[in-house]
Amino acid sequence: MARADAPPPPPPLAISAAAARGNHPLLGKAPLAVFSALALLAIPYASPKLEKFQVARIPGTEDEVEQEPVEANALAAIPAPSSTGEITLKASENTGTITNALPTDGKEVEVDPELLAKTRGSIAIENPTSMDAFYARLAKTVGKEQGAVTRVLHYGDSVITSDFISGTMRRKLQKDFGDAGHGFILIANPWEWYFHNDVDHGASSGWTSSRITGPFAGDGLYGLGGVVFKGAGANAFFATTTKGDYGRKVSKFELFYLEHPQGGDVELSVESATKIPGSKPEVVRFSTKGPAKVSRKKSVSVTTPIENGAKLSVRAFGNGEDRLYGVVLEGDGPGVTYDALGANGARVRLLKGIDADHWKEQMALRDPALVVFQYGTNESEEGSVAKDYEEVLGEVLDRARAAAPNAACLVAAPLDRAEKGGTDGLRTKKVIPKLVDAQARVAKAHGCAFWNTFQAMGGEGSMAKWVRARPALGSGDFTHPTPAGAEVIGDLLHKSLLAGYEAWQAKHPTAPKLPAALTPQEPPH
């Protein structure tokens, strides 16, 4: 069976929408010809009545009644990449004009109101007192206190790797409360589907990586985003955009790395994103060598005018073993940053592979106000909830709370997922509601809030409706949202966060109120 996190081919409607909004690499003449052929092949998958014309089975569409339940501690059910080691990464470049159907002009994706009515709508966050630390930090940002930056870290699987839902959340919260910079980006692309909206980033060949999804690092020192990079003479760049309403602000770049006895030299070069005649980059060279393995960050200030943008180039010299994690783009505040920390193929149990003390060091360097965990897509491949699932999830949440004691913790349920069956040919995969219920129980028991993504989509049978909707909100794999669907989910979560803040503020009358324009029109249910 194919992996749940294999990138789904965007539906034709989503491709058309993206084409109107940016220069996506999938939209050249040759790729479009390929997509046209794929679209013809995809027609038999649009209806169960056309099954006999299908050339292959869609992952996750098998009738679960015919499946043997996976026996449980489920570590054996986890896709087993190579054990300890590294993979060699290809050169990559993602530019700010590539927006995965998120518009660059400040306008939101338009979705028919009747279509949205098929979703249940904004869902209240459960265990709301577990969000107090986040709302208290956000209150300082709402009150426009100098330097008040509210940082959100969003861990998850492929829907976060693509920066779909997180991209929408980032835009909306920054529009509401101020843009304090894009946040954390990995050094290079460890998965083909890795992407960040509204910024430019890329890397040369020559980088290798170990990942929480494998191949594994022997010491568990994966950094904030679950990936460690090594390179000899390799380079990478990170830049703000100079177009549109988002991704424009940065006052400093921060390189996250590991100081250790075998460390080598790294060069950081900051310059204008658009060339200014006569200007020269500011160059800083430093050593990552030290007596012990310790998490560090190196900050470099930005002095270029905002209209020209700013670009950071990172170079690993190769005179030692540089272990680099990622780069943060951050402004002075007040405002919000939103770190998308997705990993293709990830299950929440893989976070146990991060050394606990190391994770705490990384969290201390980032100082988040809220840590979100959104997993379940790949757990649903197992056919049943693993016997140790709740125990493992609870351990991960406990580790996270210990690593970031000043942050709130939020568990976001998985999306609905469809399979063959039911009166209309498709039904909710039976394991999904069970995973949702388990997550709700564990979140409450371990001091975290819970947001029911599954119910916000519409509950039972919602993915089938989303796939058949026009424009499509669900992809043809019956598992992933389209960009438009991800925007809907991001919008619903955003509304729930605003409603949660309003309820918190009512109990803390000295805290600043939301601006009238941000007050939710209808309370979540």
- State residue 56's pLDDT score: 34
**CA–CA separation, 486 and 475 (whole Å):** 11
**Domain range enclosing 357:** 12-63+86-511
CA distances to 9, 225, 232, 292, 352 from 221, rounded to whole Å, are 33, 11, 19, 13, 11
Looking at the domain assignment, is residue 73 inside a domain?
no
What is 329-378 written as a DSSP string? EE-SSSEEEEEEEE-TT--GGGGGGS-HHHHHHHHHHH--SEEEEE--TT
Q: Render pLDDT for 470-501 as a digit per residue (tens, 0 to 9).
A: 888 999 999 999 888 998 999 999 999 999 99
Looking at the domain assignment, is residue 387 inside a domain?
yes
Looking at the domain assignment, is residue 523 inside a domain?
no
Looking at the domain assignment, is residue 165 inside a domain?
yes
In this predicted structure, the answer to whether residue 22 has a pLDDT above a threshold of 60 is: no
Burial class (CB in 10 A: 0-12, 13-18, 19+), 259: middle
Task: Sheet with 370-374: list strands edge to edge.
Answer: 335-342, 149-156, 370-374, 408-412, 449-451
In this predicted structure, the answer to whether residue 3 has a pLDDT above a threshold of 80 is: no
55 or 357, higher pLDDT:
357
- State residue 33's pLDDT score: 41
DSSP class of 93: E
The band of 187, judged by pLDDT with boundaries at 50, 70 and 90, is very high
Looking at the domain assignment, is residue 109 inside a domain?
yes
Q: Render pLDDT for 395-432 as a digit per residue (tens, 0 to 9).
A: 999 999 999 999 999 999 999 999 988 767 889 999 99
Total number of domains constituting the chain: 1
Pairing state between β 408-412 and 449-451: parallel
The band of 246, judged by pLDDT with boundaries at 50, 70 and 90, is confident
Q: Over the chain, what is the mean pLDDT?
A: 83
The band of 18, judged by pLDDT with boundaries at 50, 70 and 90, is very low
**CA–CA separation, 384 and 462 (whole Å):** 20
- State residue 517's pLDDT score: 83
**CA–CA separation, 50 and 249 (whole Å):** 50
**CA–CA separation, 518 and 178 (whole Å):** 13
Looking at the domain assignment, is residue 151 inside a domain?
yes
DSSP class of 260: B
Q: Residue 341: give its domain's CATH number.
A: 3.40.50.1110
Looking at the domain assignment, is residue 183 inside a domain?
yes
Q: Around 457, how many Cα atoms within 13 Å sit in the side-chain half-sphere?
A: 34
- State residue 55's pLDDT score: 33
Q: Render pLDDT for 262-276 as a digit per residue (tens, 0 to 9).
A: 999 999 999 998 877
The three state secondary structure string of 205-243 is CCEEEEECCCCECCCCCCCCCCEEEEECCCEEEEEECCC
Q: Give mean pLDDT, residues 282-311.
A: 93
The answer for 274, left when phi > 0, alpha when psi is -120 to 50, beta otherwise, is beta
In this predicted structure, the answer to whether residue 53 has a pLDDT above a threshold of 70 is: no
Q: Which two tokens stand for residue 292?
A: 């012990």
Looking at the domain assignment, is residue 261 inside a domain?
yes
**CA–CA separation, 489 and 457 (whole Å):** 7
The band of 366, judged by pLDDT with boundaries at 50, 70 and 90, is very high
